[in-house]
Amino acid sequence: MKVELIEQLEPFSDTPWYGIKVDGTSVKWSKDKKVIDDIYNEIINNPELLKTKENILKSQEIEVSLEK
């Protein structure tokens, strides 16, 4: 796993964006370098934070009749 802290300067902008990429995929972006630096350090210390968590909030099975 490759974790990168990125500074991105867009054309015609004086304000950089800071981001985190993991294996080339963007994870989080902010204009606040300290926020991104803190998140970067959290990821380095606990890579489990990158796992997606999913909760099923509602679920229901229904019957559909295709006969007319």
DSSP string, 9-54: --TT-SS-EEEEEETTEEEEEES-HHHHHHHHHHHHH-GGGGS---
Q: With 90 as the cut, is the pLDDT of residue 58 above it?
A: yes
**8-19 pLDDT, tens digit each:** 999 998 999 999
What pTM did the predictor assign?
0.72
pLDDT of residue 66: 83
Residue 67's pLDDT band, with cuts at 50, 70 and 90, is confident
